[in-house]
Amino acid sequence: MSWAGIMAARKKKYKNKVKKRKPSLDRLILNIFKKNPKKQYSYKQLTKALKRSADKEDVIQAIGLLIEKGKLVQTERNKLNLPKAPLFSDTTCDGVLEMTNRGFAFVIAKQVNQDIFIHRKNLGTALDGDVVRVNIAQRRRGKNLEGKVVAILERAQEQFIGTFRETKDRAWITPDHRKYDFDILLPEHKRRNALDGDKVLVKVSEWPTIQLGTDRVKDNPVGEVVAILGETGSMDVEMTAILIEHGFPMHFPDEALQETSRMPSEITDEVVQERKDFRGVTTFTIDPADAKDFDDALSVRELDNGHWEIGIHIADVSHYVQVGSALDKEAAARGTSVYLVDRVLPMLPERLSNELCSLRPKEDKLCFSAVFEMDDQARVIDQWFGRTVIHSDHRFTYQEAQKTLDRKKGKFYPELRHLDHLAGQLRKARYDNGSIAFETTELIFELNDKGEPLGIKTKERLNAHLLIEDFMLLANKSVARWVSEQTAKRQPVPFVYRVHDNPDEEKLTTFAGFAANFGYIIDRSSPKNIALSLNNMMRKLKGRDEQDILEKLAIRTMAKAYYSTDNIGHYGLAFEYYTHFTSPIRRYPDILAHRVLEHCLKKAPALGAKQLEAHCNRSSVMERRAIEAERSSTKYMQVVYMSQKIGEDYDGIISGVTDWGIFVEIIENKCEGLVKSENLPDDLYKYHDREYALIGIHTRRKFQFGDHVRIRVVKADLEKRTLDFELVD
């Protein structure tokens, strides 16, 4: 446990003694270190060096305050020494800054080909996502270079969401996002009649200047209210705020909407004649019950030779969204649709996403298709890619399709049965080849008429889900391989690959050591053996309380998938070639993949490599923002739900450990909250990162990742989207 945590605990327990502490004690302690600047001292050694009868609690408080001010540093062995100020060289490099929730940051710099650690005192006014210039220190921070921000080259964000607060002499907001721990001051003439408690959008007009040679910038940024969203706490306001906070526009430009309105609803004979006609082949969609944008459909028929023709038909969005149009520019800027708990913010206007492009039943629709001839073992005998027209015979929900499979009767049962069999064969081959069977838990909220949560449950993973997933994977990898092979035969054409690197060795080693505590052995001898042993662990975990926690931790050891024109393969799926082709209504990279495929098929105009790579980078950024927005939405709804459960007790499992406390996930509903270190019983606790544990200094009692505990809900903070728990004996 850090001295800051010890100090907080002691303050609460020994309030009166804190007030009586002699002010000269800080100076006396520092003098001891200054006389022996290279020496480390324990608490007992310090007390002895003071050569006087110092009160134990006074010394602890003094040490805690000195650490808090950065004048002393605590070592891993719980000793203390003077901080070693890094000497910064004249060497600079530029990169993107990534903040952590703990206040420090890393700069991703290509020039040095590694991350640069930035202490919070060396951030200046830099924020998450900013492009910055840093001076590099002459010593390292562990394995990382250390740096100091000396210039901000490009601001990632200048607009922030927060709750308007006002007193007699000032007004301000504190941004909602937990990574931002500063206030934005609002001059009187720039408040737009906002009232105390309103949720507002603020644009920063004046940033404090970075002062080189100082530890931190104390001035606040100054801004103006751009929009008043409504009353803080309103469900609609909070969801809107989350979308804006993560950089997603709430409205489409007029020009894009006008383009959409001019599009004809009817499909002309001329368009049909240019396509392969699948309207006479049995075709259906399988989607969530509440879906309106149907991206994909499957067709199936038995061939005369006993093989099966499986058509994977994808909405032909690129037919409607032309290169360089207002619609295209807006889709590229958004990158993706965003799925919050109670709403969807689409990438394309509703007339396109829910009507013209959506593969609705009993309607002729334009598609870009991947068609496969397969034997009963799902071996691909032949394949064809091209533009088609289809007519979906039926719309299944996942539950309806599963019910038909389970009952072994119903509409299109023979077709579903064959598809399910072939999907199973594809899945087995993929796992045998080293694909990792990660299954993340998805929460479903039961909402009332006001959009407020009444209950939380986990989404059931059905065989019907896997059926669709396996055929979409087949289409994605086959398109990527075909394009790569075609371009290898002639002048290379840049393509948008979905890539996933091998796991980080250090993270994997740490995870393997931890998994061994639960009896799971991770074979790290080769990438394929890593995948096979992870799959073995996943199988054994099914149905166990620690399943969700260990799967999350395993996923954290993996690299993040992203879009790139440089193909390095997809480790997690064990595919040499992979792209995103099957969801163009909700993902912009899929539209790009369609355009490149069309170029290869018909020598249509190709996108330049630089332009395509820029699109890949933008789409990767917007994908991460969408994921963060979806998580924020889920977290907010969980806090709203648990705010009705204050004082109630639950069984939980420790899902995270830090030096400031333990995070506990409630087994029943997957809501996560924090038990602060100072509220842990009977001792002072120190964080041990290799064991993912807080361990009592005196009792040696251990709180470790994966332990089962009983908690009580004590606080739900809607503004911070956090829950506070306490342990129940």
Whether residue 220 is found in the same domain as residue 175: yes
pTM metric for this prediction? 0.82
pLDDT for position 53: 53
Whether residue 217 is found in the same domain as residue 308: no
If one counts the domains in the chain, the total is: 5
The continuous run of DSSP H or E covering 416 comes out as helix 413-432
Q: Looking at residue 187, which CATH number applies to its domain?
A: 2.40.50.640
Whether residue 327 is found in the same domain as residue 348: yes
Q: Which residues of the chain have pLDDT under 70?
A: 1-24, 51-57, 68-70, 76-77, 84-89, 101, 138-143, 209-218, 604-605
Task: For residue 510, tell me if it sits in a domain.
Answer: no
Whether residue 77 is found in the same domain as residue 189: no
Q: Please name which of 639, 395, 595, 383 lies closest in space to residue 493, comparing C-alpha atoms.
A: 595
pLDDT for position 515: 83
Q: Please name which of 270, 263, 301 lies closest in space to residue 393, comparing C-alpha atoms.
A: 301
Whether residue 95 is found in the same domain as residue 218: no
Give long-range contacts, CB 8 A cutoff, 24+ apart: 409-413. Answer: 412/282, 412/284
User: What separation in angstroms does the CA of 473 have from each of 95, 280, 582?
Assistant: 34, 25, 9
**305: three-class secondary structure by DSSP:** coil
Adjacent-strand bridge partners of 725: 713
Contact 342, 355 (CB under 8 A): no
Whether residue 177 is found in the same domain as residue 281: no
Query: Could you read off the pLDDT of 422-478 as tens digits, one per residue?
Result: 999 999 999 999 899 887 788 999 999 888 999 999 888 899 999 999 999 999 999
Whole-number Å distance between alpha carbons of 7 and 13: 10
Query: Could you read off the pLDDT of 463-508 as tens digits, one per residue?
Result: 999 999 999 999 999 999 999 988 777 777 899 999 999 988 888 8
Residues whose CB falls within 8 Å of the CB of residue 304, separated by 6 or more in sequence, listed in order: none
Question: DSSP label at 309?
Answer: E
Distance of CA 393 to the CA centre of its chain: 37
Task: For residue 608, tell me if it sits in a domain.
Answer: yes
Task: For residue 140, tell me if it sits in a domain.
Answer: yes
State which of 597, 626, 655 marks the end of a domain: 626
Task: For residue 532, tell me if it sits in a domain.
Answer: no
pLDDT for position 215: 44
334-350 as b/e: b if 16+ CB within 10 A: bbbbbebbeebbbbbbe
CB atoms within 10 A of CB 56: 12
DSSP, residue by residue, 558-593: SPPPEEESS---BTTTTBSS----S-TTTBHHHHHH
Whether residue 67 is found in the same domain as residue 101: no
Whether residue 259 is found in the same domain as residue 340: yes
Whole-number Å distance between alpha carbons of 265 and 488: 39
Question: DSSP label at 41?
Answer: B
Task: For residue 322, tell me if it sits in a domain.
Answer: yes
Give the range of the structural domain holding residue 423, as residue numbers without chain letter: 254-496+578-626
